[in-house]
Structure 1
Amino acid sequence: MSSDGVELKRDTSDQVDYGGLSIVIPVYNEQGNIEPLIDEILNVLSASELEEYTPFELVFADDGSTDGSRRQLRELAERHDTVRALFLSRNFGQTAALAAGIDASTGDIIVTMDADRQNDPNDIPRLLKKYKEGYDCVSGRRVNRQDPITKRLPSTIQTYLAKRTGPDIHDFGCTLKVYNADSLRDIDLYGEGHRYIPAKLYNKGYRITETEVNHRERKYGSSKYGAKRLMKGSLDLLFHAFWNRFSTRPLHLYGSIGTVVFSVGGLLGIHMLFTRLVLGNALEPHLPRLLLVTALVLFGLQIFIFGVLAEILTRIYYQDQEPYRIQTIIE
């Protein structure tokens, strides 16, 4: 949405050839799922209504699997011309594997999905159809989720928190999404940040939407998601929220906090001076308050100074880049 209330939309009026489709799939110990998933995807992409998205490729990014997935991927890549396999040197996490796959992809459109076969490849045409309406990201919204409560609850909590940082979508945790490749390369991925890609894109000015997708039971392997990843993801979300709101103006945050703390300490100090100089009360009974006043004043000054230093670092960071993204120039 632009400042004058006009909704920004990707221009598709002259777009005929999409320059190929890349399906990026991070893998970690999914030996029993890889081959049937490839067969499903190839069957879907062979449909006549998807001819405009050729050539296509399947990019598997193996995140240090130990169950034989690497050997299987190597064999399948040799068997299928459209399959590419990347092998990370160790287990870096899903976000890193996804980023590696995105960086290695060649298509103008990128589809991301999980390797556990819970995402249904038959939903890809529906997502692509929605994408053609001019969106930069179409996020899948899982209906009738086939996950245990131990997986659904953390995901629900993260989605609830993430909605406060970006677009009004209802399932940040669904990996099945369609992206404009250029938009993905306009953001950084780290930590557990793959869940918040729509929020990152939204705050860059890209157009986001969602559509319902099918969700299936896991047949092979075990889930890697739980309370530990919820905690890591929540910390990444906190940083993401801070960065989106204050990355270009940290002094607004730290200066405000520092001013409030300093002001509280100053008011308490003024009250102490009033009781001593005007009312004639001794200071001895108020020594704890004196210590509190000193601590608040010094702490407020420290926070304010920290904000100034953060502002200086921000100016240095943005010296070689602009803190905005121009979508279109019309001349």
Structure 2
Amino acid sequence: MKPFRTTIVEISTVTPMRNELTCVREFVRRVDAVMQALSDEYEIIIVDDGSTDGTGELLDELTAAYPHLRPVHLTRNFGQAIATDAGFQQSSGRFVVMLDGDLEQPPEEIPRLIEEARKGFDLVSGRRINRDINTFLRVIPSRMANWLLRRSTGCQVRDMGGMKCLRGDIARELRLRAGQHRFLPALVHLLGGRVTEIPVDAHRRFSGQSHYGISRTFDVFLDVIYFACQTSSKGRPMYSFGRLGLGLSAVTGLLLMLTALAFFSGAATTAWPLLLLTVLGGSSSLAAIVCGVGLELLSESHAGILDRRHLRIASSESVLAEVEASAEPLRRAA
């Protein structure tokens, strides 16, 4: 495996692969052809995610014919998100393009993503059109998942799972967790980044069998639900559980008044069930608040261990440039 460059290149492509032996050669050929037309300074990073079919060995062989190819070999199968993050960390590009290795996302769309990113966007997502896939297993679940993500994060990208172009410094800051490769536009949006999307063609898989099945559909929904909960209420568990606890407390207070009225009026058959509901409501309210406090403490400890910051600071150079640009008309008027 060739050593990685220490200097910054213009464009890096990052692709996780697992058991894609029949796609590797054609994928590298097409990506390299596209990149040669774009820039002299580029690198093609392909992360071998514990392949067992010879994908990694073929990647090493192809480096002789493609000097810009940089294979990265993981010791075992860690999953697409971790493999993608490994590629991000090994990249040195000013722009980083992420795409799959089965050629459903055509490399020929890369120039359009780069062109849009040069307008100042932190992430450009490709919204896949003309997809020839199973409607029940993939299209409907995908639309539902994207709708939930838009509602919970405020990121208006309609297709979170397409090919993407990111600013290199942002890609290397993300530190993806398992499953988060599906939410890159939302992640960048929540960091305050400028996000947009453009339509791109979607092709049929070049060769081999898709790794996407019904079990993965369930995994996607579980990841989306977890991410939605994680990002709701400004990432504060106490807000979510506290509101639930306060709502239950209000209901408990109302039940307590109804119970008292029932006892005073002599309607014992109604009072006892109301009393049980009051006790249940009070217990649930207390449990919700305790859960909120406990999760809040765990969240703070987790963030401290990872030294994770949920914000980005614009570079001082860009801020000064914007200030100078806004002040120029005032100088001319003076």
2:94 corresponds, among 92, 96, 108, to 108
1:211-240 per-residue CA deviation (whole Å, 9 max, x = no partner) reads: 121221113111112332222222222222
1:264 corresponds, among 251, 275, 286, to 251
Q: Work out the CA distance in 1 between the residues paired with 2:270 and 2:148.
A: 46
Aligned pairs for 1:1-331 (under 5 A) are 19-47=9-37, 50-51=38-39, 54-149=40-135, 150-164=137-151, 165-174=153-162, 176-277=163-264, 279-282=265-268, 286-315=271-300, 323-329=310-316, 330=319
Q: Work out the CA distance in 2 between the residues paired with 1:30 and 1:263.
A: 57
Q: Work out the CA distance in 1 between the residues paired with 2:213 and 2:158.
A: 19
- Report how far residue 263 of structure 1 moved: 1.8
Q: Structure 1 pair 316/167, CA: closer, same or farther in 2 (3 Å)?
A: same
8 Å CA contact 2:8–2:92 kept in 1: the answer is no
- Report how far residue 208 of structure 1 moved: 0.6
Q: Secondary structure at the match of 2:284?
A: helix
8 Å CA contact 1:158–1:234 kept in 2: the answer is yes
Q: Work out the CA distance in 2 between the residues paired with 1:124 and 1:322.
A: 30
- Report how far residue 114 of structure 1 moved: 0.7
Q: Work out the CA distance in 1 between the residues paired with 2:196 and 2:70.
A: 29
Q: Work out the CA distance in 1 between the residues paired with 2:132 and 2:57.
A: 29
1:97-121 per-residue CA deviation (whole Å, 9 max, x = no partner) reads: 1111111112121111111011111
8 Å CA contact 2:50–2:74 kept in 1: the answer is yes
Q: Structure 1 pair 231/321, CA: closer, same or farther in 2 (3 Å)?
A: closer
Q: RMSD between aligned alpha carbons? A: 2.2
Q: Work out the CA distance in 1 between the residues paired with 2:200 and 2:28.
A: 19
Q: Return the TM-score normalized by structure 1.
A: 0.85
Q: Work out the CA distance in 2 between the residues paired with 1:285 and 1:122.
A: 72
Q: Secondary structure at the match of 1:173?
A: coil
Q: Secondary structure at the match of 2:267?
A: coil
8 Å CA contact 2:248–2:285 kept in 1: the answer is yes
Equivalent residue, structure 2, for 1:10: none
Q: Work out the CA distance in 1 between the residues paired with 2:255 and 2:110.
A: 63
- Report how far residue 297 of structure 1 moved: 0.2
Q: Structure 1 pair 114/318, CA: closer, same or farther in 2 (3 Å)?
A: closer
- Report how far residue 151 of structure 1 moved: 2.9
Instruction: Give the share of equivalent positions with the same residue, in percent.
Output: 32
Q: Work out the CA distance in 1 between the residues paired with 2:244 and 2:33.
A: 57
Give the gaps of 5 or more residues in structure 1.
1-16
Aligned residues: 308
- Report how far residue 133 of structure 1 moved: 0.5
